[in-house]
Amino acid sequence: MHRRWHHADESERRQWQDPEAVLAATGLKPGSTFMDIGCGEGFFTLPAARLTGPGGRVYGVDIEGEAIETLRRRAAAEGLNNLELITGKAEEALLCQACTDIVFFGNVLHDFENPAEVVRKARRMIKPEGKLANLDWKKEAMSFGPPLSRRFDEAAAISLIEPAGFRVESVKDAGKYHYLIIARPV
C-alpha cells in the first residue's frame, strides 16, 4: 500500500475528522465486534475499542508491522485489552467466518493492491445482520490526502462493494472531505 500521506499528526487530523462521530455513524455500540482493515496506528481502532468496551472485540489489520506495534503500545498504555492486532495484507486477511458486526475501511479502500478481493473477504467475515462501512476521501482536489488519481468516488466504491454481495444502505457526507458508505450483506 502507498500510504505516506496517512502519517499526518493525529491532533491535526482530528481538526478535520472526528473518529468517534464516524464510528457512531456506523452504528458501533458497546459489545460489538469491529474489524478495522488497514488500521494503521489506530486512529479509528482505539476509539472503537473504547466504545465497544470490555464486552466487545476489535480487530485491527495492517500491512505495516511498525504501525501495528505502535497501536499495540498505545492500547496497552490505555489498558485496552479487547483488541486483536494482526500484521498482514488485507487481501489475505480472513480472520473468521461471519464473526463481526462491522468491517470498517477508514480512508484505505483505494490503497489496497486488490480492493475487490478485500471487499470479498470482508463479506465472508461479516455476520448476516452485520454491515460494511467504507469511509473514504471525496474525489475532489485538495491540498492533503492521497492524490486525486488514487481516490475512488462514491460510484467507484459502490462498484466494488455491491458485486461482493452487499446492498448499499446509505451514502452520506462524513465531514467536509469524506463520504461514508454503509452496506449490508445480501
* C-beta of residue 88 within 8 angstroms of C-beta of residue 65: no
What are the chain's domains? 28-185 (3.40.50.150)
What average pLDDT is seen over the chain?
Answer: 92
Percent of the chain predicted with pLDDT > 70: 95
Per-residue pLDDT, 2: 41
Residue 127 burial (CB count, 10 A): 16
Tens digits of residue pLDDT in 75-110: 999 999 999 999 999 998 888 899 999 999 999 999
Global pTM reads 0.92
Tens digits of residue pLDDT in 18-60: 999 999 999 999 999 999 999 999 999 999 999 999 999 999 9
| Rounded Cα distance, 168 and 157, in Å | 10
| Rounded Cα distance, 43 and 31, in Å | 20
